[in-house]
Amino acid sequence: MVRGFLAQCYIIPANMASRSLRCFAVCLCLVAGISVALKAEVAAPSASPADLPSRVVQLRINGEIEPILSEYIVNGIEQAGRDHASLVLITINTPGGLDDSMREIIQAILKSPVPVATFVTPSGSRAASAGFFILLSADIAAMSPGTDTGAASPLMEIGGQVAQIDDTLKKKIFNEATAYLRSYVSQRGRNTELAATAVTDAKAFSEKEALDGKLIDLVASSPEDLVAKLDGRTIKRFDGTSVQFALSHPIFDVQDMTGRQKILSRIVDPNVFFVLLIVAVLGLYTEFTHPGLFAPGVVGGIALLLALFSMHLLPVNLAGLLLMALAMALFILEAKFPTHGVLGVGGVVSMTLGALLLIRTPLTGMGVRLGTALGAALPFAVIVVILMRLVLRSRTWKPAVGKEELVGEVGEITEPVNTASGPEAAMGMVRVHGELWRAAARAGENIPVGARVRVRKVNGLTLEVEPVKVPQGAAS
């Protein structure tokens, strides 16, 4: 439009005689053209915010809650804030996990600049224990049909078995857990009294019970259904501000763990951490006792570094490490002394207890399983005892190469040795392994030709020998 208008303007002043008039006319044409263009743009209908696509960042909690999963969720929420996403949707299917990791996720949700919705899905999933705490911390809490949540009582577990604790410590843990839950559930406008029963009474709720009890905000069949139900809804955020969702045209951005996070999430599993410790100790022990194999040392070194990384992230108990070190000492002593298996059994018991105590019991329970502990301790005990016995036995083995292998060998005198006849007759000759050596005997010994002798010592090219005593009645 502007270009056409300018063309007309150039035609008008073309016949004008004065250059100044032509310039003035061109300026008038430019102003008029720009004005017309601006009016046309203003008159054109503009897209409303509701018609613009909205970005929904989807994160997943699937499995036990541990440090790497926490890192993945926290980073995802922070990145969504930097990208100005419309909503962060966290799907949940978890039996629980570590207390520290749970609290890191909740802190990220509470301070998120982007509204966060937690969603227990698909059908058959659960948000138990630490998952219950995370579910209720979000701006929107939702569940799919056929899911459950709750059962958030703190458990002290050892090897998958619940440990008994005294009433004072139990009250202390329960009171702190319920206070932490109330601190943000009340701000979300949810039922704090009913939520507390999931901790104090270990109550669990179906999706209908949670909705009727005002623990969650709605029930949806899928993430798409949830976003559709949230469109146009106004919520009050944790900081008191109100936000109205505009999600009529959502674009789902599903963010999975990176390759690094997937690998590390396996390493920080308590059972994998325990196996890495076993492999590290066994590999390095084999390399030190049988130098030159290389492969056990390389594998053991890598396993040790991975175990140290896991130790940096997991709440490792020093008592568990000491029990495992004691088990190693007992296995070595079992190989060295004939204790008829007493020390070996003690080592297995010590290693099993060390594995069960290896991870400090978190608020929601997580540690090495009993089956893993026994499955690793028994083979480890057998291998260490066998290796140690081979090492000890090898110290008594006769050298197979060099002059030292001649010690103890039996030969035949080819020239007599007579130490009583002077220095010249003191030396004789002996045949050992088909080789002729100089032969020397102790003072006062006379050894005739054909006599059988045993090598006592090797001095250069001279063998110090002694007669072999033939039992009476034996054939010559």
Strands (E), 94-202: 116-120, 126-128, 140-143, 148-150, 157-158, 161-162
Query: Across 42-46, 145-149, 303-307, which has the greatest mean pLDDT?
Result: 145-149
Compute how many other C-beta atoms are within 10 angstroms of the C-beta atom of residue 422: 8
Which of 212, 235, 259 is where one domain is finished? 259
Return the pLDDT at 77.
Answer: 97
Residue 126 in 3-state DSSP? strand
CATH number of the domain bearing residue 457:
2.40.50.140
Residue 260 in 3-state DSSP? helix
Which of 207, 237, 259 is where one domain is finished? 259
- For residues 108 and 162, membership in a common domain is answered with yes
- For residues 37 and 81, membership in a common domain is answered with no
- For residues 144 and 191, membership in a common domain is answered with yes
Residue 18 in 3-state DSSP? coil
Q: What average pLDDT score do residues 343-361 get?
A: 84
pLDDT tens digits for range 386-436: 777 776 666 565 555 556 677 878 889 888 887 665 555 578 899 988 888
Q: What average pLDDT score do residues 158-185 get?
A: 77
**What's the pTM?**
0.65
Least Cα distance to 252 among 59, 426, 21, 445 occurs for: 59
- Tell me which of 11-15, 127-131, 280-284, 311-315 is least confident: 11-15
Q: How far apart are CA 353 and CA 373, in angstroms?
A: 8
Range of the domain at 236: 50-259
Tokens (6 digits) for 287: 């390399």
pLDDT tens digits for range 366-391: 678 888 888 888 888 888 777 777 76
Return the pLDDT at 328.
Answer: 86
Sorting pLDDT into bands at 50, 70 and 90, what band is 6?
A: very low
- For residues 350 and 459, membership in a common domain is answered with no
Adjacent-strand bridge partners of 458: 463
